[in-house]
Amino acid sequence: MGDVHSVHLVLEAVPEQVDTLQDEIAQLWESVPSVSTTDRVRFEMALVEIFANIVEHSVRHHPGPPLRQVAIQLDVSPGLVEARFADDGRPVGLDLSDVTMPPPDAEDGRGLALTIAAVDALAYEREGDINRWTVTCRRNG
Amino acid sequence: MTDIHVAHTERGIGVVTPVGRLTMVVTRQLTEAITGLVDGGTSKVVVDLGETTFLDSSGLGALIAGLKRCRQAGGDLRLARPTEQVTTVLSLTNLDRVLRPRASVAEAF
């Protein structure tokens, strides 16, 4: 684990926490300045979209208590930048292989398609009562 | 955190300038800024992204909604001065041909 730089966050699943997430990502890059601009951009885009997706779909329409938490683990190693999200919102009822980019005049529905286009791998699984998302970027620089 | 400035050029073009991150946190403000211009009779709108440090899919959705609103009123919505991240998002979502960014606000119309 010597070469892995890790950050663990627990955020309230509310829109305003996107800013906190992005502030934390900015701090992460200060700690590991070797990550290329291209990798930073695509990783941040993916994380913002997944967090927004959790807030919009797993939490906002959930019948339970409105305030839920999202745990996020960020790991930067010499070859990979990876994020693991865990939330206890409702299950995500979709197959990622069915996700396509909506037509140009669509006003929503681009989040997951953009994430898939930006990163090397996006995975989702439901484990018990927990949603787990994993975002993986192989480092280019 | 993010401010959305609204102004007019001498030629009556509306200029919306988001300063900071354009994410789900401020999407509604962006929509209101564009709607306010169109409702006030300004249907040619430039969104100046020169100071927009980050654009996500909800921001893109608000831009598309704004584009439709401007066109319905007989005008158009154009983007100017995209940063590298904005250019990447437009390209990955195939919206670079619909929302063709210009190098400056003056060149948009």
Q: Domain limits of chain A?
A: 5-138
Distance of CA A50 to the CA centre of its chain: 4
- Return the DSSP state at A46: H
The mean predicted confidence, pLDDT, of chain A is: 91
Other Cβ atoms closer than 10 A to A14: 16
Sign of CA dihedral A70, A122, B54, A105: negative
Q: Which of A40, A70, A26, A22 shows the shortest CA–CA distance to B26?
A: A22
* Residue contact B61–A107, C-beta within 8 A: yes
pLDDT tens digits for B76-86? Answer: 999 999 999 99
Distance from C-alpha of A49 to C-alpha of A108, rounded to nearest angstrom: 12
In a mutational test of the A interface, the residue from B21, B52, B57, B69 whose CB has the highest number of chain A CBs within 10 Å is B57
Q: What percent of chain B has pLDDT over 70?
A: 100
Q: In degrees rounded to 5, what are phi and psi of residue B46?
A: -110, 130
List pLDDT tens digits, range A66-79. 568 999 999 999 99
Please, are residues B20 and B51 in contact by the beta-carbon 8 Å criterion?
Answer: yes
Question: What number of C-beta contacts closer than 8 Å exist between A and B?
Answer: 75
Mean pLDDT to the nearest integer, B81-106: 94
Please report the ipTM that was assigned to this predicted complex: 0.93
Contacts of B64 in chain A (CB under 8 A): 104-107
Structure letter (DSSP) for residue A59 = I
Closest CA to A21 of B79, B69, B21: B21
Q: From the CA of B64, how many Å to the nearest CA of chain A?
A: 6
Whether residue A103 lies within 8 A of chain B, CB to CB, comes out as: no
Contacts of B14 (CB under 8 A, 6+ apart): B6, B7, B8, B34, B37, B42, B44, B45, B46
State how far the alpha carbon of B23 is from the alpha carbons of A44, A51, B13, B74, in Å: 12, 11, 25, 28
The 3-state secondary structure of chain B reads CCEEEEEECCCCCEEEEEEEEECCCCHHHHHHHHHHHHHCCCCEEEEECCCEEEECHHHHHHHHHHHHHHHHCCCEEEEECCCHHHHHHHHHCCCCCCCCCECCCCCCC
Asked whether the beta carbons of residue B92 and residue A117 sit closer than 8 angstroms, the reply is yes
Query: CB-based contacts of A28: which residues, under 8 Å, 6+ apart?
Result: A5, A7, A74, A76
Cross-strand partners of B102: B80
pLDDT (tens digit, 9 = 90+) per residue, A64-115? 665 689 999 999 999 999 999 999 888 888 899 999 999 999 999 999 999 9
What residues of chain A lie within 8 A of the CB of B57, using their CB? 49, 52, 108, 110-111, 114
Pick the residue from chain A with its C-alpha nearest to B2: A19
B25: which 2 tokens? 């946190």
- The tokens 């695509």 sit on which residue? A42
Q: How many residues would you count in chain A? A: 141
Which residues in A38-56 are b (16+ Cβ under 10 Å) and which e? ebbbbbbbbbbbbbbbbbb
Q: Which domains does chain B show, CATH number per domain?
A: 3-92 (3.30.750.24)
A68 vs B104, which has greater pLDDT?
A: B104
Pick A44 or B97 by higher pLDDT: A44
Domain A5-138 CATH class label: alpha beta
Hey, are the CB atoms on A45 and B56 less than 8 Å from each other?
Answer: yes
Q: CA-CA distance, B3 to B20, in Å (whole number)?
A: 7
